[in-house]
Amino acid sequence: QVQLQESGPGLVKPSETLSLTCTVSGGSISSYFWSWIRQPPGKGLEWIGYIYYSGSTYYSPSLKSRVTISVDTSKNQFSLKLNSVTAADTAVYYCARSHCSSTSCYRYAFDIWGQGTMVIVS
Amino acid sequence: QTVVTQEPSLTVSPGGTVTLTCASSTGAVTSDYYANWFQQKPGQAPRALIYSTSNKHSWTPARFSGSLLGGKAALTLSGVQPEDEAEYYCLLYYGSAQLGVFGGGTKLTVL
């Protein structure tokens, strides 16, 4: 079955760039939307943005100026870059896949999630 | 700014029935909001339960159901099990902005 695994530094200094990669195993990255979602300690979920396997992206308006999501289909990976980070960006970062049926894709129906990776900005 | 509101906490007895709701600051929630529901237990990643208001994933237990109720999206648990104790998040899709917004979550206690 399809599995997602986040990887990247667990500690980032303020004002620097947070960089994470999500590796997709057990299936192809093609024909799906792929998202990044975060959760500050003790708080709720926040959608960051998504990328289609072809490379088209859409970002949360609140983070749009600082976010870049990219895809590498040859490696079955997609990545997140968040620049100019502050302590408010400290969170568990999840990657997730959007659910697609035989006829439609539901961009925000995140059916498969990675285990999450904690990133501390300090 | 669009706000999605859920009950902060609910308590239900084992075997009972409970309904969690998800409201939008923009008005009544309809099928056009493609409501999603996720379950999260402590220390775990969220797990998808319901998409597009009422559709279950292949792994969603039969006791979970999604609907629209009184202008809100709703998640009903019938015959609650102790393992259903968790945080539940809804997500609504705002088509005009192509934006998905999570609710703040409902902490469900089974007691």
* pLDDT (tens digit per residue) in B41-59: 999 999 999 999 999 999 9
A32: contact with B, CB 8 A cutoff: no
pLDDT confidence of residue A82: 98
- The DSSP string of B20-37 is EEEEETTB---GGG--EE
The helix or strand, by DSSP H or E, that contains position A30, with its residue range, turns out to be none
| Residue B98: band (very low, low, confident or very high) from pLDDT cuts 50, 70, 90 | confident
pLDDT confidence of residue B1: 84
Q: Inspect the interface and report whether the beta carbons of A114 and B57 lie closer than 8 Å.
A: no
Per run of 10 residues, the mean pLDDT along chain A (length 122 residues) is: 96 98 95 95 96 93 96 96 98 96 89 97 97
> In Å, how far are A44, A119, B31, B33, B105 from B23, measured between CA atoms?
16, 31, 13, 11, 12
pLDDT confidence of residue B97: 87
The helix or strand, by DSSP H or E, that contains position A112, with its residue range, turns out to be strand A105-113
Residue B88 has pLDDT above 90, yes or no: yes
B74 within 8 A of B37, measured Cβ to Cβ: no
Query: What are the chain A neighbours of B101 within 8 Å (beta carbons)?
Result: 47
pLDDT confidence of residue A16: 98
> In Å, how far are A28, A57, A78, A79 from A75, measured between CA atoms?
10, 18, 9, 11
Q: Inspect the interface and report whether the beta carbons of A107 and B100 lie closer than 8 Å.
A: yes
